[in-house]
Amino acid sequence: MTQLQMIKQHFDTGHSLSGYEAANLYRIASLPRRINDLEAQGMKIKRETKKDTTGRRYVRYTQLAA
């Protein structure tokens, strides 16, 4: 299964995904690059900047309804 297929499957379950989660769950080192690839294929994805408990910022990606 490709990285794009893994991300699509993750989104199909209704979950969002962060870079940290992608690295730990799927061994995807560059989630933003894969998100750009999915958008190039026509998938609509929402980006949401968040802060963790230590104040570090990260981006959480969610697939938008088609």
Residue 37 token pair: 């690839």
**Dist CA 26 CA 18 (whole Å):** 11
What is the average pLDDT across 23-52? 97
Q: Is the confidence at residue 42, as pLDDT, over 80?
A: yes
pTM higher than 0.75: yes
Does position 66 have pLDDT exceeding 80, yes or no? no
| Residue 59, SS3 per DSSP | strand
Residues 7-29 have pLDDT tens digits of: 999 999 999 999 999 999 999 99
Total residue count of the chain as it appears in this document: 66
Give the mean pLDDT of the chain.
96
pLDDT above 80 for 38: yes
